Chain A
Amino acid sequence: MSNWPAETKYIGQNTPRIDGAVKVTGKARYSSDIQAAGWLYGMILRSKWPAAKITSVNLDKARQIPGIKAAVRARDGAFTVRFYGEEIAAVAGTSKQACLDALRAIEVQAEVRHEFVVNETEARKENSAQVWEGSANAPANPRPRENGNVDTAFPECAAVIEGFYSTPVQIHNPMETMGNTVSWTDDGLTAWSSTQGISSVRDGLAGALKLDHSKVRVVTEYMGGGFGAKFGAGVEGMLAAKLSKEANAPVRLMLTRFDQALAVGNRPSSFQKIKIGATADGRLHAFEAENYGTAGIGAGGDSGGGGGGADIPMPYIYQVPNTRVKQSAVAVNAGAARAFRAPGHPPASYGMESAMDDLAAKLGIDPLEFRLKNDPHPIRQREYKLGAEKFGWNQKYQKPGSSPGVVKTGIGCAGAAWPAGGGSRDTHGDAQINPDGSIEFRFGVQDIGTGTRTVIAVVAAELLGLKPEQITVRVGDTNFPPGPGSGGSTTCASVSPAVYDICQKALQQLQTQSGLADARGENWFAACKKLGVNPLVVHGQWQQGLSADHACGVQFAAVEVDTETGLVTVKKVLAVHDCGLIIDKLTLESQINGGVIMGMGYALYEERVMDDLSGVVLNPNFETYKLPGLADVPDIEVVLINMPERGVIGIGEPATVPTAGAIANAVFNAIGVRVGSLPITPAKILAALGKVPPAVAA
């Protein structure tokens, strides 16, 4: 049981983010806004070949372009590139225009390999081109992971379905691309990074450039989103550092939107062949699955359901007594995958939840009832029941395909589990309390957009009896005490207990020094005044018992499907989530909205498309890689299950997990036919309805 106060003034309320004003006025300096004195613009030359041996890179002509101050190779000597967009060289100059000219002037000699493969299904074939020479793209026979005995269990089932469910490669596309401004002098290196992990960027730069960690400082005051792709300095960070050293000036090297789609991460695809059976009383009895997906060049080898980047948790949140699961990661000539908001979970949820509804339909039972029977988790049980009532599930539910008319309506639901979300014990922070009563918190974490500064201010204000706007919060600097990366939905649960620790210690010391029995609230300024001339500096760190992990969450979706155009319109999503003690309801709701909308993009719009013949990414920009817009976004209702007794738990990831599954099931419910492939495009809807001839295989 947590020690958080039972009665609160700010915790659990709506506090507008404390850095909101600088963000809405344009005053916030994002990493891409940094204008260090004498800064140069940097750009990268990328491979136009999906596979080639680069034999020489001549930078002489590039260096002669007016304004160009440095030019570096991505690697020394001859080297191999394995995907379209791999880094070859970089330049820095006084303007973007000079850099554009210089990139065109770089002379690259290459032995182009005509054998390459970008399609994961092709890459698994025995005669496929090899991404890594002498090594198979995927294991021929991945090791099965087994529980019970599926071979005897399937014949015991009353109903069995077999389905094939696939999900595309999804691109992170944070609004601010990856990149850094790097200043590398004899005194050390400073990088203003667009990162979600200032410590991991510092360690990465120090390691790669052979510098003491103490000589590398990473600053991230404001950054424009990451979603898992921005933990490291990346090749672009190393290149910016080398350019800075050569030019003896700070270099700002932000990726272009095109670059961003090629080389800095994505969510692996999945191709899930699922066979699932239940007994006559509607209990899951047997589950057999084979899944493969690609993590680009970052795959290859037997994942055995663990590692390799493309494996997903199967059979996801359900307990099935007899299971056999085979998984493999397939290498293709494309940029490597990176962590992406709840890695593995959205594809796992989509596949399994689709199979659940397909099986429920075969059994002839309501899919919600089927879930309540087979998902024993007490929190999800409560969430499903509450959500069903609020959503009007029983009134709205009709058998799949029974909606009349041209525009059919349907509803669906799906569940989530997120094992992380707890705090990192390696979270440290300082607070400086000045005699004038002002207080400044310093944390070596970064705000990825979730409102970390605001969380720190809300918790401190609550515990010290102040207002959030009286708390100054500084984050995003490795000169501050170290904290975790913003990943795994852990930041809120990491910093909140550390703030708690700092506040307890601060009050104790203030009370001792001032002689006041309670230094909080109205006594705060009097107590601080007694400090005399020296500020009080308090160090604190994460404490056990104030946070927890493992959040659940369920979502319900209502859709309309136009059976003449194939267009799916999401009318409503009800998101029922738990995350322990609610710190700031306003920013929490924002994260849930964001999770739902990103999940909706995954369900209906997003997909990296590659050309098999040229190996090129065909949609490396927003006009072809479609994200949900304001007009697409449905009515989103949020129900928060308040569980203060669990302490603080993160929400960023669980909120995006079940959306695609819920929407896909709502589409199935509307039209009565399964579209077993994300994104659910109009073309796939019309094909599923038999309204267009099937695509001719190449």
Chain B
Amino acid sequence: MPATKNTDMPFSSSLAPRPSEAGEPVLRVEGLGVAIGPAERPVTLVEDVSLEIAAGRTLCVVGESGCGKSLTSLAIMGLLATPPLRVASGRVLFEGRDLLTMEPRERADLRGDRMTMIFQEPMTSLNPAFTIGDQIAEVVRRHRDISAEAARATALEMLRRVRIPSPEKRLDEYPHQMSGGMRQRVMIAMALANGPRLLIADEPTTALDVTIQAQILSLVRNLQRETGTALLLITHDLGVVAEVADEVAVMYAGRIVERGPVEAIFDDPQHPYTIGLMGSLPSLAGDQERLVTIPGSVPPPERMPRGCRFSPRCPFAIAGCHTAPPPLAEITPGHWAACIRAPLEAFVGAPAGEAA
């Protein structure tokens, strides 16, 4: 794939020019909750999630499987499987307007146009019955009043921009004729065809080969830089976070436990869960004998502890941790952690067992 050579170089996020825009963030989520089950006895899967992303910036939401990352992104897009899932609380402000109180029709007008999404599974996310060209052209014609020929031309142009080789030929092919990496490029082409203000990418590289992962990520990053789109990237891969994030939100058991600039999260993590997560990251330096793991597992949603949800697994937990959920508190400017024991400097370095 020689065509991709020039753009798929490794890059450093700190060197990248960042279009900065003052004022209203593109997306602002306030106290979002997602629940399942009957209204009188709901089980809360996502609770009190607050985020914001400015134009051209990248927010990575990290956390292990089942922590509510995907539910949060689907709730923002309005794609929750309703019923049984539903948004239980909060506001989702897109360019200042609350999506949750909008007419469904109006929200659908934004979807695929101003806010778009790519998914984890490129193999199943494209419709097997229609050609690539048709599927890209469809999203263009849904939101733009243009002819079928013009939409097809846009589709071709988008295939070029996501660096699919011989795009004229690919335009009339079906998804099954393409590899996973190519299909994810098609999904990206579809998501960016209308020049969105916000792109949500839900683990876009998890299902792909490692070599393809880097290509797809840098493709997304480059296109984002060209267009100034805000990117909400869901991932459990801290390597990806280190590479692309401006800001990071760490989720645990349906709540955000820590939020801040990427440097702060990596260099000075405050929440014990984040610290554990960083400890689980294998290092190539080879000075660790064993991988550090967090003991125990995430409690099921219907048996969440009343206090801090991480407290049963937390080596630093004290009595106060079990009584009430800790609020997100600003530790240093822009860096928030939901831990009553933060900052933990006093304990870090000492073996966890002794500190508790």
Do A and B actually bind?
A: no
